[in-house]
Amino acid sequence: MKVGLFIPCYIDQFFPRVGIATLELLEKLSCDVSYPTGQSCCGQPLANSGLEREMKALYASFANVFAHCDFIVSPSGSCTYHIRHHFNIIEQTDEVKHLREKTFELTEFLLDILEIRKLDAVFEARVGIHESCHGLRGLGLGKPSELNATEFSNMHALLDLVEGIRLCVPERRDECCGFGGTFSVNEPQLSIAMGQDCIERHLHNRVEYITASDMSCLMHLDGIIRKNRLPVKVMHIAEILNHTKGDAHEGI
């Protein structure tokens, strides 16, 4: 199984260790992983700003870069969602269809494709789970609280496999953190207020870490945490799932 690793630009620039953790985790699970160096941003930020039509050439190039991979895996629900649902504006060549059908967010790839039910992971800490909007409602990685359906969560299912972890579910567990990409730029005061509210719910549970499957949400929350010197850290789920006994509990 040839897996192409897609690392979003903000992870590449600001949180490279999330990309490294994703690579190491997939290799531990016997995946043949490559990192195509010709990859670029998926185009989501500009598309969200009204420039989607200008992204057509980038979308086509992106599809060609990953054409040789059986699957494309990314530690980002929002970027995965963008590829699946917004690459529909270009010609649907075999390469584009393949990209849209075979791009998976990390947790769904682990559960739905690799069918992981056991992990060699240890993380002895009290951890709060943040369900990101794109992953939860866009990709269906869990059950939103507004639906009357069977409870499930990819994050819960995987983190339950980690030895020593103590999971804490906050009140209003799937409420937006306020990031929303360009929303945080256009509505900064509202964005920050929503983030503060989210963090307070986790602090109420006395967590040591907040985790999510989207580093963009954690980046937003970490900015508020650092500014206010709050006693909690953030860590992407890939880092926790890749964590073994003796590894340092870093976070950011």
Cβ count within 10 A of residue 136: 24
Q: Are residues 105 and 131 in the same domain?
A: no
The CATH number assigned to the domain holding 220 equals 3.40.50
Q: Range with the lowest mean pLDDT among 21-25, 28-32, 49-53?
A: 49-53
Same-domain pairing of 142 and 82:
no
Residues 168 and 211 in one domain: yes
Report the percent of the chain where pLDDT is more than 90.
Answer: 86
In a domain, residue 226? The reply is yes
The domain boundary, picked from 113, 142, 169, lies at: 113
- Do 203 and 99 share a structural domain? no
The residue-averaged pLDDT of 105-133 equals 97
Q: Please check whether residue 132 lies inside any domain of the structure.
A: yes
Its pTM stands at 0.93
d(CA 42, CA 59): 7
> Does 66 share its domain with 149?
no
Q: Are residues 148 and 105 in the same domain?
A: no
Among 65, 82, 113, give the residue marking a domain's end. Answer: 113
Pairing label, strands 103-105, 126-129: unpaired
Mean pLDDT value across residues 71-85: 96
Rama region for 164: left / alpha / beta (φ>0; ψ in -120 to 50; rest)? left
Q: Do both 8 and 70 map to the same domain?
A: yes
Domain count, the chain: 2
Q: DSSP state, 89? A: G
* Residue 121 belongs to a domain: no
Do 225 and 150 lie in one domain? The reply is: yes
Task: Band the pLDDT of 49: cuts 50, 70, 90.
Answer: confident
In a domain, 102, yes or no: yes
Query: Is residue 94 located within the same domain as residue 199?
Result: no
Q: Are residues 142 and 108 in the same domain?
A: no
Q: 79 in a domain, yes or no?
A: yes
Region 49-54: mean pLDDT is 88
In this prediction, residue 116 has a pLDDT band, given cuts at 50, 70 and 90, of: very high
Asked whether residue 247 is domain-assigned, the answer is no
Domain that holds residue 96: 2-113
The answer to whether residues 102 and 142 belong to one domain is: no
Residues 50 and 153 reside in one and the same domain: no
Average pLDDT, the chain: 94
Is pLDDT of 83 > 70?
A: yes
Residue 197 lies in a domain: yes
CA atoms of 173 and 212, how far apart (whole Å):
12
Average pLDDT of the residues in 48-71: 94
Cα distances (angstroms) measured from residue 180 to each of 176, 187, 195: 8, 10, 11
Six-digit token pair at 160?
């339950």
Give the separation between CA 170 and CA 26, rounded to whole angstroms.
29
| pLDDT at residue 185, rounded to an integer | 85
Concatenated DSSP letters for 40-78?
---SHHHHHTT-GGGGHHHHHHHHHHTTT-SEEEES-HH
The answer to whether residue 249 sits within a structural domain is no
State which of 78, 113, 148 marks the end of a domain.
113
pLDDT tens-digit series, residues 135-180 = 999 999 999 988 988 989 999 999 999 999 999 999 988 999 999 8
